Each structure stands twice: as structure tokens, then as C-alpha cells.
């Protein structure tokens, strides 16, 4: 049952406790209490929902009935689940997607091996989003899900020397899978750490679960028998000298710099540099590009300089802030952010069930968004463009470029005729999402 519909005029928790009692009187044996419904405008199962945000609904209903009550939604960690049970919030915890991401979670929890659990990120990209188009569900982080009878993990028949270029999600998954099957795997990564673009995906507020996935992958990589070389940018010539039996090119993508006069001015920077903290943006920031990265960068920038949940709770409990002031200090930070997008549709490319959440959050945080923009020029003062037929000027101290990626496939193109077994995977094949990169990494790791 929904503990609160979170729809104006519909049932809230004060009413659902009465419904819970009616269920009990009618002979129901157990109540599993979730949040609201698809109609609610309060996010229910997306990544930005804090762990156990709706457990209080189970707690209120448990107080009103004698039958067992389960708490639900975004319960992911053993310690947190145990705390709910110990403190009497509920009698059971209900895990949905965490069991899709890792069907062995219950065993790992009971063996105190929670560090080995592949955690659900709440991305919805593999499991929930396909439902909208009638496609079968799978899982971003566990691509075996839904393919259990097709994707068999078998040991490698003939041991091969496998060279993998790039330790983003595609390369890491290919390396671990191939090595665990018994191949002799060597991995080259030009940066001093693994993760590729996924290192930035977890930086905006509410997207932190990607960091947990990355930490898990780093632990797996350390455990797997992979010969890893960091700070090791490899060239086609060096690849040939190593003479691998199979070559996997997982080199990702390169940011596209749009051809706008003034794009090379000093205050024009890349979204990745901003997310990584390599650039200190000015007060007024205009982002060129409103796809996934543009939206994520806007979220991260708009949240900078806002009070955090602990500070807010303190101020709220002591009555230090009115509702207006509370909104101002939690939702307005140190930057004024505008997104300008060439094509229609803000946030295209984001997960279908997450896009509305992120766009609403941007609105709540006061980010201005315009699509259908034709760019004319960038000057020291800002951007001149036409927005739906009207010429406009947007003042900007910093201009952030988030105009997409082009595949980084030079090594593949140079070597494709020289190897019998060569694969191009992830964003290097075509810039998409981690879902595809992880999927292709595991698939190739199983195929070699
Ligand atoms: C801000 C942001 C948010 C995102 N959010 C999401 C999300 O919510 N969901 C989602 O599914 N996807 C998301 N993505 C996209 C996702 O991160 C990428 O699709 C994914 O990382 C692609 O994986 P990859 O392994 O193909 O390439 P990459 O992650 O780009 O990794 C390629 C690696 O190859 C290395 N490399 C390149 N050339 C060489 C060389 N010659 N020698 C050695 N190493 C080399 C690079 O240094 C890099 O580490 C996001 C991306 C960004 C930037
Ligand atoms: C693929 C998928 C389909 C779902 N379909 C429904 C649905 O039709 N109705 C509903 O009330 N909840 C639906 N849910 C929500 C689950 O029933 C459950 O409440 C939620 O996934 C629990 O949160 P957790 O996955 O974070 O553990 C669905 C969830 C997923 C992942
Ligand atoms: S696709 Fe994403 S949300 Fe769904 S189970 Fe996998 S990690 Fe969790």
C-alpha cells in the first residue's frame, strides 16, 4: 500500500493509517508500505531519493496495526536495514531493485560480506525505463539480469593475451570479465585512476550512487588478475609491439567544441573541468548544451553555496528560518545558472523516469532553461543568440561547454585491419551512456 499518495486532495499518512487498520480487520497478513504512485510529483525511486526516505510511512502504519509491516524504497545497505529493524520502524525490509542489481545480496549480507554487494544505483535505466517502450528489463550495473539463460559465464577455452585500452566502465567490465574467465589481461589507462567519464557522473547532488558503483568496480579490479597500468596513454605503435591476441578499444569520447565565434576565449570552459573542480566559475554561468552533461553540470553549479540537510535541520528545528528564507538558503546558492540548448527538449538522453525529476529540480533551484537556441557569438560579457526567433543577450562570467562527445576511435581505425580479434566498445563506438558501456564491456569479456 502507498503510505501517502503525495497527491493534493488524495490520501496522506493520517488517512492511510486508518486504511491499514481496515486491511488488518479484513484479514490481511502483512502490509508492505511504499511511497506514492506514478501520478505523484514527489520522486519515489530515483537516485536522488535518500536511503529509506519513505520508511517513516511504514513506521506510522506499524504503530497503528499488529500485523507485520515492511518498509520499502531505496533501502540498500545492510547497516541501514538493520537500524530500521532494531529501532522498530518496521518488521521487514522490502528490497526491489537491489535484488536485480545483485541477486546474491541476501547471502552476502548474511555472510557479512556487504562490501561485495553490487549496489543498485537507482538509475532506473535498465529496469524501469524499458517498461515505457515495452522492452525487457535488465540492469545497468548487472547486465546479466534478464539474460540469465543467454549470457553464460564459462571459463576461457584457450588462454589469450588480451589488451584493453581505457579503464572507463566499458574497459573495466571487459577486463574483469575476461580475466576472471582465465585470459591473460593487460589494461592501459591514460589517467592515474579508473572510472573514465563515470568519475564525474556522481558529482552533482542526488547522483552520488555512481560513486559507490565506481568504488565497487575499483575493488573488483584490484581483486581480478588484471595487469593494470595507470598514467599509461598507449599508442597504436605500442599496441603492435605488445602483440596481443585480442584488442579491446574502450577509449571513450572527446568533448565536442561547437563552432561559435569566441568559443576559445579564456572564460569558456568545459563542463568536465567545472564538475571536476579544476575551474572556479564566476557568478553568472551560462551552459551551452542541455543534454545529460549540461543538466548535470547545471545541477552541480546551482547547488553550490546552499545549506546542507544537517545545517537546514538545525535551523528548522530551532525556528531560525521562515519558509521563505528556508527555500532561499536551500535552493539558491552562489551561482546564477542558465542553460541554452540548440535542439528542442531539455535533458534529452537522460533516463526517461529520471529526466522530469532533474528538470523539476533545476526549476526549483532557479536555473533558467531555453531550447531552440541559435548561437551567434560569445564575447567577454556573454552570449548573443536567437531564442525561438527573438534575439537575446545572456550576460556570463563563465561559459560552460556541454555540447556532447565525439567517439575517440583513432586507435581502432588505425589497427582494425591488423587484428583478427579487435573490438570497439562503449562511448568509443558511439557516445551513449554507462548502461551501454557496461553492457558491451561484459558482453565482449564473455565473447573473447
Ligand atoms: C557528468 C556526467 C554524468 C553522466 N551520468 C550518467 C548516468 O547517469 N547514467 C549513465 O548511464 N551514463 C552517464 N554518463 C555517461 C557515462 O559516464 C559514459 O557513457 C561512460 O562513462 C562511457 O564509458 P566508456 O568506458 O565507454 O568511456 P569513458 O568513461 O570515457 O572511459 C574511457 C577511458 O579510456 C581512457 N583512454 C582514452 N584513450 C586512451 C589511451 N590512448 N590510452 C589509455 N587510456 C585511454 C580515458 O582516459 C578513459 O578513462 C555521464 C557522463 C557524465 C560526463
Ligand atoms: C521494473 C519495475 C517496475 C515497477 N512497477 C511498479 C508498478 O507497476 N506499480 C507500483 O506501485 N510499483 C512499481 N514498482 C516499484 C516497486 O514495486 C517497489 O516499490 C520499489 O521498486 C521498491 O524500491 P527499491 O527498488 O528501491 O527497493 C516497480 C519497480 C521496478 C523496478
Ligand atoms: S537498472 Fe539501475 S535502478 Fe535498475 S536495478 Fe539496475 S542499478 Fe538499480
Residue from 3, 74, 97 whose mutation best tests the ligand 2 pocket (most atoms within 8 A of CB): 97
**Domains in the chain: boundaries:** 13-94, 161-254+406-447, 257-403
pLDDT of 157 reads 87
Residue 341 has pLDDT above 90, yes or no: yes
Ligand 3 atom at shortest distance from the alpha carbon of 124 = 3
Ligand 2 atom at shortest distance from the alpha carbon of 127 = 1
Question: Do the domains 257-403 and 161-254+406-447 match in fold?
Answer: no
**pLDDT tens digit string along 386-404?**
998 999 999 999 999 999 9
Residue from 130, 252, 403 whose mutation best tests the ligand 1 pocket (most atoms within 8 A of CB): 252
Closest to 300 measured CA to CA, from 367, 356, 240, 371: 367
Residue nearest to atom 6 of ligand 3 (CA): 139
CATH homologous superfamily for the domain 161-254+406-447:
NAD(P)-binding Rossmann-like Domain (3.40.50.720)
Residue 198 has pLDDT above 90, yes or no: yes
Residue 38 has pLDDT above 90, yes or no: no
> If you measure from the C-alpha of residue 200 to the centroid of ligand 1, how many angstroms do you get, rounded to a whole number?
9
Burial of 41 (0-12, 13-18, 19+ CB in 10 A): exposed
Residue nearest to atom 34 of ligand 1 (CA): 166
Residue nearest to atom 5 of ligand 2 (CA): 128
Q: Which residue has the cell 526491489?
A: 96
Rounded to two decimals, the pTM is 0.96
Closest to 252 measured CA to CA, from 430, 403, 411: 430
The CA-atom distances, in angstroms, between 253 and each of 13, 49, 75, 138, 442 are 48, 30, 34, 25, 19
> If you measure from the C-alpha of residue 99 to the centroid of ligand 3, how many angstroms do you get, rounded to a whole number?
9
For residues 189 and 186, give the distance between their C-alpha atoms in angstroms, rounded to a whole number.
10
> If you measure from the C-alpha of residue 356 to the centroid of ligand 3, how many angstroms do you get, rounded to a whole number?
18
Cβ atoms 166, 423 nearer than 8 A: no
Residue 349 has pLDDT above 90, yes or no: no
The CATH fold assigned to 257-403 is FAD/NAD(P)-binding domain (3.50.50)
**pLDDT tens digit string along 268-318?**
999 999 999 999 999 999 999 999 999 999 999 999 999 999 999 999 999
Check if 204 has its Cβ closer than 6 Å to any atom of ligand 1: no
Pocket lined around ligand 3, Cβ cut-off 6 Å: 97, 100-101, 120-127, 139-141
Residue from 139, 173, 216, 434 whose mutation best tests the ligand 3 pocket (most atoms within 8 A of CB): 139
Mean pLDDT of the chain: 97
- R_g over Cα of the chain: 24
**pLDDT tens digit string along 259-279?**
999 999 999 999 999 999 999
Question: Hey, how many other C-beta atoms are within 10 angstroms of the C-beta on 95?
Answer: 21
Check if 293 has its Cβ closer than 6 Å to any atom of ligand 1: yes
What is the arrangement of strands in the sheet containing 421-424, beginning at the earlier edge strand?
226-229, 184-188, 161-165, 246-249, 421-424
Amino acid at each position: 500500500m502507498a503510505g501517502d499518495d503525495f497527491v493534493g486532495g488524495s490520501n496522506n499518512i493520517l488517512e492511510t493509517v486508518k486504511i491499514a487498520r481496515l486491511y488488518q480487520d479484513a484479514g490481511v497478513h502483512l502490509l508492505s508500505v511504499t511511497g506514492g504512485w506514478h501520478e505523484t510529483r514527489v520522486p519515489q525511486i530515483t537516485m536522488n531519493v535518500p536511503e529509506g526516505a519513505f520508511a517513516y510511512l511504514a513506521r506510522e502504519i506499524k504503530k497503528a496495526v499488529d500485523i507485520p509491516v515492511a518498509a520499502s524504497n531505496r533501502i540498500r545497505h545492510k547497516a541501514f536495514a538493520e537500524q530500521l529493524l532494531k529501532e522498530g520502524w518496521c518488521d521487514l525490509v522490502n528490497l526491489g531493485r537491489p535484488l536485480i542489481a545483485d541477486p546474491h545480496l541476501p547471502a552476502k549480507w548474511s555472510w557479512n560480506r556487504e562490501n561485495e554487494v553490487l549496489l543498485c544505483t537507482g538509475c532506473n535505466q535498465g529496469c524501469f525505463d524499458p517498461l515505457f517502450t515495452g522492452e525487457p528489463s535488465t540492469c545497468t550495473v548487472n547486465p546479466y539480469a534478464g539474460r540469465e539463460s543467454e549470457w553464460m559465464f564459462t571459463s576461457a577455452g584457450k588462454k589469450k593475451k588480451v589488451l584493453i585500452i581505457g579503464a572507463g566502465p566499458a574497459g573495466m567490465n571487459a577486463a574483469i570479465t575476461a580475466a576472471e574467465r582465465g585470459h591473460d589481461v593487460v589494461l592501459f589507462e591514460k589517467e592515474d585512476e579508473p572510472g573514465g567519464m563515470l568519475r564525474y557522473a556522481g558529482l552533482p547532488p542526488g547522483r552520488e550512487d555512481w560513486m559507490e558503483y565506481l568504488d565497487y568496480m575499483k575493488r573488483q579490479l584490484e581483486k581480478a588478475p588484471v595487469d593494470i597500468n595507470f598514467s599509461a596513454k598507449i599508442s597504436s605503435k605500442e599496441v603492435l609491439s605488445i602483440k596481443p591476441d585480442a584488442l579491446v578499444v574502450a577509449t571513450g569520447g572527446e568533448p565536442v567544441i561547437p563552432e561559435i565565434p569566441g568559443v576559445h576565449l579564456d572564460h569558456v570552459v568545459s563542463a568536465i573541468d567545472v564538475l571536476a573542480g579544476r575551474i572556479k566559475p564566476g557568478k553568472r554561468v551560462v551552459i551551452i548544451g542541455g543534454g545529460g552533461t549540461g543538466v548535470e553540470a547545471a545541477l552541480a553549479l546551482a547547488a553550490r553555496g546552499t545549506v546542507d540537510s544537517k545545517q537546514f535541520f538545525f535551523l528548522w528545528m530551532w525556528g531560525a528560518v521562515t519558509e521563505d528564507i528556508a527555500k532561499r538558503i536551500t535552493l539558491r546558492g552562489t551561482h546564477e545558472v542558465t542553460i541554452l540548448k540548440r535542439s528542442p527538449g531539455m535533458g534529452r538522453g537522460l533516463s526517461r523516469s529520471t529526466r522530469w525529476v532533474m528538470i523539476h529540480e533545476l526549476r526549483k533551484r532557479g536555473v533558467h532553461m531555453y531550447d531552440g537556441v541559435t548561437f551567434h557569438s560569445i564575447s567577454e560579457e556573454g552570449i548573443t543568440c536567437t531564442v525561438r526567433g527573438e534575439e537575446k543577450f545572456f550576460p556570463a562570467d563563465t561559459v560552460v561547454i556541454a555540447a556532447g562527445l565525439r567517439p575517440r576511435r583513432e586507435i581502432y581505425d588505425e589497427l582494425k585491419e591488423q587484428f583478427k580479434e579487435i573490438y570497439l566498445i562503449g562511448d568509443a563506438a558511439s557516445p551513449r551512456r554507462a548502461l551501454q558501456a557496461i553492457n558491451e564491456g561484459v558482453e565482449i569479456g564473455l565473447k573473447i
